[in-house]
Structure 1
C-alpha cells in the first residue's frame, strides 16, 4: 500500500486523507488532545492545578476483583519518597509461570499516570490477550523532573522487581522473571529503549532474577532539530501529535539549554552506544503518526548495530491507536506482541511446570 512508503520520499507533497475513525474514537481523541492543550503552557511548564482535575476525571481505580476478562488490578508502592508506584494487572490464578510485562505510559514525559483510562485499559488487555502479568510504572514527570529522572525511575522499578518480586501477587500466580518484557508507547517507548540499554549495561550482570527478554517501543517518541518529511506532511492532518506538542515535550524533558539533537531524543549511529546484550526489539509504527520517520530510523539504527529487531507497521494507524480496542489494528498489534513474547521467552510455556 502507498501509505507504507510515506516515511521516506521528500517528493511527497499531497496531504493524505486520514482513515475514517469510529465516532467513539474521534470523541475520545478530541477530548484527550483538548486536555493536553489546556494544561501545557507555552513556557514549557504544566498547569498542575488544572491537570490534577483532569487527571481525576480520566483516571480509573484499581479493581482487586477479576473483571469479565478475568483480570484484577492493584497498586504497589516502590519508592514513596519519589512517588514511584505501579499498577499490577494479573489473573486470579495461573497454572504455569507467566511472563512479566513492565509498562511505561505515554504523555510526552510530562503528563498522565498508570491510572489514566486508556493506559489502564491497554494493560488490562496485555494481561488477558498476551497472557502476562503487567506492572505499569508511575515515573516522575517533567518539567519538575527532567532527564534523566524518568529513566532513573524506570530502571529502579526493574531493580525493585528483581529484589522483591511483585508484592501482592500471591502464590496462585507464579511469574517467570527471566521472561520480562518492557513495553511503552510514545514517551513510554522512548523510556523503554533507554531503560533497556541501561539495564543491559549496568544491572543485568548482577541481577538476581530479572532478565529483560525483549522490548516493545510502540510508536516511540524520538526526534531531532530536523523536521522530517512525515512531520511536515502530517502536520494538521494526523490527530494527537503535532510539531507544537512535540516541541513542548522535548523542552519540558530535556536538560535546560539542550536542543532536540540530545541523545535522549536523537538516537543515531553516532550516539546510540548500545549494550552488547541489548534485547530483541519489536518496533510498532503507524502510517498516520508524524513521528514515523524517526521510528523507522530508530529501527534502522538497531539493525546497523547488529541487534535483533522486527517492525510491525500499520499503515492507517495514528499515534496512540492501540489504546482504542474499537480499532482492528489495536487488536492485531496485540497478536503480534503475543507471538513476539512466546518466541523470546526464556522458558517456553510448553515446558513450564
Structure 2
C-alpha cells in the first residue's frame, strides 16, 4: 500500500511506483521548468514546439541567442537529443535536462532539440523508439513550420545523442537509419552515446554473476516494466546490441561516434564491450572513447556543477563541429 492509500502493483525504488489502478508515481523526476527567451547563465534562447499531434510528440528547442541577433543567418550544426530515465521517467522539460541543454547549445554553438517522447509504462516500448525516430525525421524534413530549424540548421551537420536510456535510443536510431535512411537523403554526421543503458542476461566484466541478483537489479526490472512484451527479454537487440541475431554494428549510420563511460557506473564494462565490438565490426567511421574513472552514471547531468561535469559537457560540445 502506498502513502496515498492506493495498492502498489510494482515499484522500482528509488525511481518509480506503479499502482494497481494504473496510475504512476515518478519518484526520481527533476522539476519541470519553462523555456527561457534568454537564459541568464548561457545566453541561450529556448522554446517548446509541437513535433506531431498524432502521435503526441513535442520538443524543447535551443538556439544560441547571438544567432538571432545577426543580420545574416549563420548556418550551424544541430543536435537531436534523447534524455535518459530508464524509459520510464524524466523529461526534456525538466530542470536538469534544460540546464544541460543550455550549456551544450552554447558551447557547441548549435541548434539543439531535446525530444519529449512518451514514457513507459503507460506507453510501453517500442513507443519511445518510434517517437524519437519521428522527431529526428521531422527535423531533417527541414521543418518549414519551425524557423529556428529552417533558418539556422546546416543539414550537412546533423548529430544525435543521448544519455542512459537516451543513448540506448540513439543506438537504435543509428541502426534504423542504416536500413531505412532519413528524409531528404540527410546523413547523420555524428552521434554520442553517454553512459548507455545496455544490459543482458549473461554477465560482462565485473557485473554481478548471480542469476537471481541479476533478475532483481534495476537494469533488468526497469526494462521489464518498460517493455514487458520484449522478445528475448533483456537480450532483445534493443537492450543488448551484442545479442545473437542483433543487427551488425557495421550498419551504424554515422561517420563519427563518441562513447562515454564512467568508472563507478554498473554499466561501464558493457559499454566498453560495445565500443570494442563497434571497433571490430568493420564499421568505417571515426570512433572515440571518453572515460571518467571517478564518476558515476549520468554525473554530468545529476552533478552538473562539478568540475568533471563541466569537462564532459565541453567534450561533448567539441564533438559537434
Q: Do these two structures clear the TM 0.5 threshold for a shared fold by scoring above it?
A: yes
Higher normalized contact order (CA 8 Å, seq sep 6+, divided by chain length): 1
**Cα deviation digits, residues 274-319 of structure 1 (max 9, x gap):** 4646212100000000000110111111111122321001101100
Q: Quick check: 2:144–2:150 contact (8 Å CA) kept in 1?
A: no
| Number of residue equivalences | 295
Q: Does 1:220 align with 2:196?
A: yes
Q: Are 1:37 and 2:14 an aligned pair? A: yes
Tell me how far apart the structure 2 counterparts of residues 269 and 91 of structure 1 sit (CA, whole Å): 41
Separation (CA, whole Å) in 2 of partners of 1:299 and 1:54: 29
The structure with more helix, counted as a fraction of residues: 1
The structure-2 alpha-carbon separation of the partners of 1:35 and 1:121, relative to structure 1 and needing over 3 Å to count, comes to farther
Q: How does 1:289-308 map to 2 (within 5 A)?
A: 289-307=265-283, 308=285
Unaligned runs of 5+ in 2: 1-10, 210-214
Matches within 5 A, 1:14-29: none
In the alignment, does 2:237 pair up with 1:267? Answer: no
Superposed, 1:1-353 pairs within 5 Å as 37=14, 39-41=16-18, 47-48=23-24, 50-51=25-26, 58-94=31-67, 96-165=74-143, 167-170=145-148, 174-204=152-182, 207-208=183-184, 210-232=186-208, 244-256=217-229, 258-268=232-242, 270=244, 271-274=246-249, 276=251, 278-279=253-254, 280-307=256-283, 308=285, 309-323=287-301, 324-342=303-321
Structure 1 contact 46–143 (Cα < 8 Å) conserved = no
Instruction: State how far apart, in whole Å, the 2-side matches of 1:54 and 1:66 are.
Output: 25
Please give the TM-score of this superposition, normalised by the length of structure 2: 0.82
Could you tell me which runs of 5 or more consecutive residues in structure 1 were left unpaired when the two chains were aligned.
1-33, 234-241, 343-353
Q: Deviations over 1:238-287 (max 9, x none)?
A: xxxx9632122210223426421111111117423346462121000000
CA distance in 2, matches of 1:36, 1:129: 35
Separation of aligned partners in 1, 2:112 and 2:62: 5
Contact 1:42 1:248 in 2 (8 A): no
Listed one character per residue, the Cα deviations across residues 29-81 of structure 1 (whole Å, up to 9, x for unaligned) are xxxxx9962633499x9842x33x975x7111111234341101101101122
Once the two structures are TM-superposed, the CA of residue 164 in structure 1 deviates from its matched residue by 3.9
Scaled by the length of structure 1, what TM-score is found? Answer: 0.75
Which has the larger strand fraction? 2
